[in-house]
Structure 1
Amino acid sequence: MTALVIHGSEGRMGRRLMALAEEHGFELLGGIDQDTELSVVESLLSRADLVIDFSLPAGLDALLIALEGRGLPLVSGTTGLSPAQHAALERYSDEAAVLWASNMSRGIVVLRALVEEAARRLPEWDAELVEVHHRRKVDAPSGTALTLAEGLVAARGEGQIERGRRGQGARRPASVGIQSLRGGSVVGEHRVSFFHDGEQVHLSHVAESRDQFVRGALCAGRWLMGREPGIYAIEETVD
């Protein structure tokens, strides 16, 4: 049985991972958050086979320092990372298998594929994205929205992402706008729209609970076990 440690265990995702890990076949050793004593962190990591991280960017920095030299497989869903933090994940992947994803949902994996296919087939259509999350989400746009927009631009081979529409002036050709809404207890909604003269195409995903993200993260962790060091993508875990 895989011995699992949850990093960010006091967050919304962390609490659900703590609640569901054992019923998905993991041995839950415990959780780590920003207030966990260093001796406890050392003890947990020394016995772990796998770490799943859903925290904040600063928390991931501390985790990567603690993991250095251990070679423990790492699944991370922490968003809002800087280029330097993504580079730090890359460096850790020299010694361990690492899977980072802005969204662990299988539905989002399929949505991304559909969005990229639509972008290729509708190259002259205007593309816009709207994402909605609960009032306490700290990053905007969401990591998932950025992943979808980046995939869309890459599929077309041109374009630029605009975070919000403001001011005056016509829409720039090939731009992809992202609008972020925050309120209530919304778990997550993403809608990608393609507009042309006289017609529209809309592709969307609505998360009704966090449990599908938990299942995706746990499945990704199970898939990652035994893999060679390197960076892996969530798409690789979906049949």
Structure 2
Amino acid sequence: MRIALVGTGRMGQAVEAVAVERGHTISARFDAETPLLDARDASALGGADVVVDFSVPDVALDQIHRYAFWGVDAVVGTTGWTDDLPTVREWVEEGQSGLLWAPNFSLGLALVSRAVAGLLPLLDRLDEYDVAVHEAHHTGKVDSPSGTALRLAEELLAGLGRKTRIEPETQHGAIDPAALHVTSQRVGAVLGEHTVTLDSDVDQIRVVHTAKSRRAFALGAVRAAEWVAGRQGLFTLDDMLEEELGTGD
């Protein structure tokens, strides 16, 4: 398979290493010095079967429009654009292409998400447990909270009747019991750590995922590229896992 990389930073380099290990070819590379948005047409992708995009939020939506307009399948790990998911779905349908997006491509984090989802029916009945989400990343991370933390919070919010909104800001007084607190920390070179905490008067449960290398994300992204190639529609990592694990309807 031929893969075009959009974003050649540390994540792009990790994706390239894993892709080559799995027998794929890098057909084109784009970054700040060679912007994808300067490309005139799909020929700039060098015949790519799939684009893998780990770039920056400021240009993500415009780049996604290009992929759809060119009818090229894509894997997008860039965050900060998902408020426009309905519009992106229309673009993908018009372009008859496939796009798989995720705020985090770690397969281990996907397992954590499924574990939390399994807890929700019981947790919703055990109102003595409060819940919160915390994430920690390196000092160079642009968005806060992380897209992954917000996605985890949204999943919790959907399953807990007593929580009605996400609160990502620092609290300088008593927090609204209906708010699901999402906190962030930026320190050193932390690749990514996400924690879901369930706390009661008598005990505490913590579900933690810690990324040990960028390879964890790169492997998930390359596997997603292998899966989405030739498909039509807007997908998430859950769609891929449901099919591979045989847990879909």
Tell me if structure 2 keeps the 8 A contact 1:30–1:44: yes
| Residue 159 in structure 1 maps to residue 164 in structure 2 | yes
Deviation of 1:67 after TM superposition, in Å, equals: 2.6
Aligned residue for 2:50?
50
Tell me if structure 2 keeps the 8 A contact 1:117–1:155: no
> Partners in 2 of 1:215 and 1:70 — Cα distance?
26
Q: Secondary structure at the match of 2:150?
A: helix
Q: Deviations over 1:128-176 (max 9, x none)?
A: 111000000010000000010001111224521110331223x322321
1:55-70 map, 5 Å: 55-70=55-70
Tell me if structure 2 keeps the 8 A contact 1:126–1:174: no
Which of 205, 215, 222 is residue 218 of structure 1 equivalent to? 222
Deviation of 1:12 after TM superposition, in Å, equals: 2.0
Tell me if structure 2 keeps the 8 A contact 1:52–1:217: yes
Q: Secondary structure at the match of 2:61?
A: helix
Stretch of structure 1 that moved more, 71-80 or 90-99: 90-99
Stretch of structure 1 that moved more, 67-76 or 210-219: 67-76
Deviation of 1:222 after TM superposition, in Å, equals: 0.4
Deviation of 1:82 after TM superposition, in Å, equals: 5.2
> Partners in 1 of 2:89 and 2:122 — Cα distance?
33
Aligned residue for 2:131?
127
| Residue 32 in structure 1 maps to residue 33 in structure 2 | no
Q: Secondary structure at the match of 2:69?
A: coil
> Partners in 2 of 1:12 and 1:132 — Cα distance?
18
- 1:53–1:88 CA distance, 2 compared to 1 (3 A): farther
Cα RMSD, aligned residues only? 1.9
> Partners in 2 of 1:182 and 1:137 — Cα distance?
8
1:42-191 map, 5 Å: 42-45=42-45, 47-81=47-81, 83-84=83-84, 86-94=85-93, 95-123=96-124, 124=127, 125-157=129-161, 158-169=163-174, 171-191=175-195
Structure 1 unmatched runs, 5+: none
Deviation of 1:219 after TM superposition, in Å, equals: 0.3
**Percent identity, aligned pairs only?**
34
Tell me if structure 1 keeps the 8 A contact 2:76–2:102: yes
Deviation of 1:21 after TM superposition, in Å, equals: 1.5
| Residue 21 in structure 1 maps to residue 25 in structure 2 | no
Q: Which amino acid aligns with 1:230?
A: G
TM-score normalised per structure 1:
0.90
Q: Deviations over 1:50-72 (max 9, x none)?
A: 10111112222332343343211
> Partners in 1 of 2:82 and 2:224 — Cα distance?
23
TM-score normalised per structure 2:
0.87
| Residue 6 in structure 1 maps to residue 10 in structure 2 | no
Q: Which amino acid aligns with 2:2?
A: A
Q: Which amino acid aligns with 1:28?
A: I
> Partners in 2 of 1:46 and 1:12 — Cα distance?
22
